[in-house]
Structure 1
Amino acid sequence: MFKNIISKQLNLLSYLVRWTLISIPLAVAVGSAVAFFLWLLSWATHFRFGHSWLLYLLPLAAIAIHLLYKWYGKSAERGNNLIIDEIHQPGAGVPKRMAPLILITTVITHLFGGSAGREGTAVQIGGSLANLFGSWFKVSEADKKLVLTAGVAAGFGAVFGTPLTGTIFALEVIAIGRIQYNALLPCLIAALVGDVTVSAWGVHHTQYHIDVVNAGSDLYGKHLPLSFMLLGKVILSSAMFGLVSMAFAKGVHLVKNTALKLVKINWLIPALGGVIIIALTFALGKPDYLGLGVEAEYPGAVTIVSAFKHGGADALSWLWKLIYTSITLGTGFKGGEVTPLFYIGATLGNTLADILNAPVSLFAALGFIAVFAGATNTPLACTLMGIELFGGEYAIFFAVSCFTAYFFSGEQGIYSAQRNESSKLGGYRNRLFSKYKF
């Protein structure tokens, strides 16, 4: 028995050493690439701020992106969904060209004013480099899945400065209802090292702040650590967050399908998307919904940061950002969905806080993570994101909000390759329908 214990411990040690040796260099490479990407993105954003005429060239930028993927992209155009499919069932692999293509085209999108995010770029950089490292290390098909998952964790953890979130996101996003725990160690190492690498390059992330909120209440002379009135407002708002995340996912697909149906010339679709974005910006009279939406182009602009303050968002800011991003991504521009989801959630939280007489900064934070949770079907990861970004004091509200939004967001999220291993309601929905014969 003693020999058996020693043998198991040695096997465990060998496993730890092997995956540490694979994950660390992969994460350093991914973190360095993400740091370079974030630097380029910051440059593109500020350059556009100083040269507002660039927006007029958005249709031409769209055509350039379309041609780059037509000539060089091939399977790389499937983006995050290709990586998820490869994790499920390794096949043709993730092309090496995916990383430089998505980096260049995302910067082009933001330079000319497209409304997109950055997580898709970081995840695709991570997946592309992970596939390359997997071939160098000559890993088996089973281990290739772990390497790709670790690449996703490194990219996500590095781009947002949230290594724990990156770890769980990579495990949770693959399939609804199932987490692959044997990938936990490689993902944790990769996400941590990727985040540290970005910091080592001197790239810093946006800081958010929640004002102090009295989350307790008194009942019959006894103090309770949780206010049921506030909790009710959180649940009500989170249901709305879930419905909006579902609207976002369906909006992107609707724009894409409608454009393919109505426009037969492929390169004309992204060009028309650019024209519509320009027209919307003129109609609204302000550029608040272009780009990432993190930094303010002018004093008083609506941003993710401003949404954490009273009066920091218009009543329909969330809807306009949803429309802008659906058009941008649905017509073929490149980038991610997550940062726009942060914007949509934070501004919607700001609006709902005013309606419900609730703490603005807390509800902006809840919307920030909950709309993301609903759209990606990753409530565990998003709960951790709330703790990593805003602190653990309101962790119970983060969890309630993310899981409520998750249940109200429908079965299909923004990633079509995400498999549904288990219905969100289990067999309850079928039993209910069977009982009442709907």
Structure 2
Amino acid sequence: MRRLLRWLIAGSTPPLMGYAIGLGALAGAVVTAYDVILLRIGEWLAVDWLRLPFDQPPGLHPDILLHPPAIWFPIITAIGLSASWLIMNRAFSGVGSHTTDRVIDAFHNHNGNLPMRLAIAVAIASIFTVAFGGAAGREAQAGLIGAAVAVAVGRRIGVRPADLRTIMLIGLAAGFSSAFKTPLGAAFIAVEILYRDLSIESDALIYTIVAAVVAYVLTGSLTGWEGEFRVAVATGLNQPGDYVWIALLGVVGGFAAALMPTVFFTIRKIVAGIPLPGLLKAFGGGLVVGVLGLIAPVIIGDGSFSFSLQDAAAWSGWTLLAAGTLRLIALSITLGAGGVGGVLSPSLIIGALLGAGFAHLFELPFLQTAIVGMGTLFAGAARVPIGTLLMVSELTGGYELMPAAALAVAISYAIQIVVGERLPYPSIHGEQPPTLWSSPAHQDEILAAGIGLLQ
């Protein structure tokens, strides 16, 4: 059976292309199953049972008092974060970090090794976090699960140790692609998110593209093809003056992206440092996030059923900016209190709210400006400009906006690098080494190059 599996997956030339096809399909299938379970539970709790008013702007909502099940939302979120804490610290104690940073660390310091036990723990705990209303994304888990599945199968069928890092990136891209239905963005983010500068793992890119496309086709065939934030945009931004405003949005987004990691990690450290038992802290953090969710339902979950640009169009500019701020605070508390989740989709929503608020304040085309804003924050805060640009275009269908989005993302990224490197936390991903050549994964190449020069 082992020989048959290896032949089915690696029987192509070169072998890594076969691995990309086979493992892309396998990781995509596993992540699709995980996604369907998480989203079904989350939608049933928040939409069908609690009937939270997701179309309403932040504020006190009297209709919640008239619909008693919604009052239970803070308790539901508290139970979810408590269960997540118990899973990670009791049932699966010792698995360690469980974010995208764990994948980054595995690439640089552990030859791509990720324990399958970690993926199981993350899958279960994140369902309790995100589906029960925690303000976190599901992409980190999807990527980690995909990477761990690919590594486990790769080791089982005898992949060369030298190829294990590429195998991990294949699974990471497939997981991202399956979760967001954005194959090109997922493929680039998988090789781009590893470093704080513009270095990428270019040797792995062709394989991450293939794996991401395979995962996308599989997931699309099962659950539909469109990205979850798809909107109808009639035209792009076609006036020269529009690009002046878009450049200014890039500046604002760059400063926001520079501040975001420091705000995020500072709140997380404050919450983590509260002198209470971990379980009680998780329950209390869940209560706080739940109350914030009643005030601003847009912060709930990963945004797949709680966020709509069309609904946000009716809100005022300052309300949109306040909603984005609350989203960041709730995200930080959720993860600081013991929840398991990612920062990508919350960052995209915060960026969209920033762009939407900017559009209202300066009377710009609403949907177009919001879509452009969606990419400015994460592109800088996570140091992934190319992948984010592609992912936002695929998520929203706003391909005509790519020139404007590229301008805003480039400006945001440049400002984030200059300002962010002077702050305590330069990136939202703390395990990123500054450059490719500072990574332990490339020390042998550096040594070989040095010996070559000496000879």
Same fold (TM over 0.5): yes
SS of the equivalent of 1:115 reads: coil
Cα gap change, 1:403 to 1:307, in 2 (>3 Å): farther
Residue 309 of structure 1 aligns to which amino acid in structure 2? A
Conserved? CA contact 2:28–2:219, under 8 Å: yes
- 1:246-299 Cα shifts (integer Å, max 9, x gaps): 3332222112211233325333332221122234345x3x53322123324xxx
- The equivalent residue for 2:383 is 377
The alignment status of 1:392 with 2:399, answered yes or no, reads: yes
C-alpha displacement of 1:14:
9.3
Q: Number of residues paired by the alignment?
A: 393
C-alpha displacement of 1:78:
3.4
- The equivalent residue for 2:429 is 415
SS of the equivalent of 1:393 reads: helix
Query: Which residue, out of 17, 20, 23, partners 2:17?
Result: 20
Taking the aligned partners of 1:199 and 1:312, their CA distance within structure 2 comes to 35
The alignment status of 1:196 with 2:243, answered yes or no, reads: no
The alignment status of 1:170 with 2:176, answered yes or no, reads: no
User: What aligned pairs does 1:73-92 form with structure 2 within 5 A after superposition?
Assistant: 73-90=93-110
Conserved? CA contact 1:345–1:368, under 8 Å: yes
Taking the aligned partners of 2:382 and 2:389, their CA distance within structure 1 comes to 13
Taking the aligned partners of 2:112 and 2:96, their CA distance within structure 1 comes to 11
User: What aligned pairs does 1:275-354 form with structure 2 within 5 A after superposition?
Assistant: 275-281=287-293, 284=295, 286-296=296-306, 303-306=307-310, 309-311=313-315, 314-315=319-320, 316-354=322-360
Cα gap change, 1:212 to 1:342, in 2 (>3 Å): same
RMSD across aligned positions (CA): 2.5
SS of the equivalent of 2:135 reads: coil
Taking the aligned partners of 1:309 and 1:60, their CA distance within structure 2 comes to 33
Residue 406 of structure 1 aligns to which amino acid in structure 2? Y
Conserved? CA contact 2:236–2:401, under 8 Å: no
- The equivalent residue for 2:113 is 93
- 1:178-200 Cα shifts (integer Å, max 9, x gaps): 11211112211111111111112
Conserved? CA contact 2:188–2:387, under 8 Å: yes
C-alpha displacement of 1:91:
5.2
Taking the aligned partners of 1:79 and 1:276, their CA distance within structure 2 comes to 22
User: What aligned pairs does 1:5-404 form with structure 2 within 5 A after superposition?
Assistant: 16-49=13-46, 50-51=49-50, 52=70, 53-71=72-90, 72-90=92-110, 93-175=113-195, 176-204=197-225, 205-209=227-231, 211-213=233-235, 215-217=237-239, 227=240, 229-281=241-293, 284=295, 286-296=296-306, 303-306=307-310, 309-311=313-315, 314-315=319-320, 316-389=322-395, 390-404=397-411
- 1:139-193 Cα shifts (integer Å, max 9, x gaps): 2332111111111111111111111111111111011231121111221111111
Residue 37 of structure 2 aligns to which amino acid in structure 1? L
Q: Which has the higher contact order (CA 8 A, sep 6+)?
A: 2
Structure 1 residue runs of 5 or longer lacking an equivalent are: 1-12, 218-226, 297-302, 424-438
Residue 160 of structure 2 aligns to which amino acid in structure 1? S
Taking the aligned partners of 2:392 and 2:80, their CA distance within structure 1 comes to 35
Taking the aligned partners of 1:89 and 1:77, their CA distance within structure 2 comes to 14
Cα gap change, 1:112 to 1:80, in 2 (>3 Å): same
Residue 127 of structure 2 aligns to which amino acid in structure 1? V
SS of the equivalent of 1:82 reads: helix
- The equivalent residue for 1:6 is none
C-alpha displacement of 1:203:
4.4
Residue 121 of structure 1 aligns to which amino acid in structure 2? Q
- 1:358-402 Cα shifts (integer Å, max 9, x gaps): 111111101112212122110011122233333432221111111
Cα gap change, 1:417 to 1:214, in 2 (>3 Å): closer
| TM-score for both structures, normalised by structure 1 | 0.83
Cα gap change, 1:25 to 1:421, in 2 (>3 Å): same
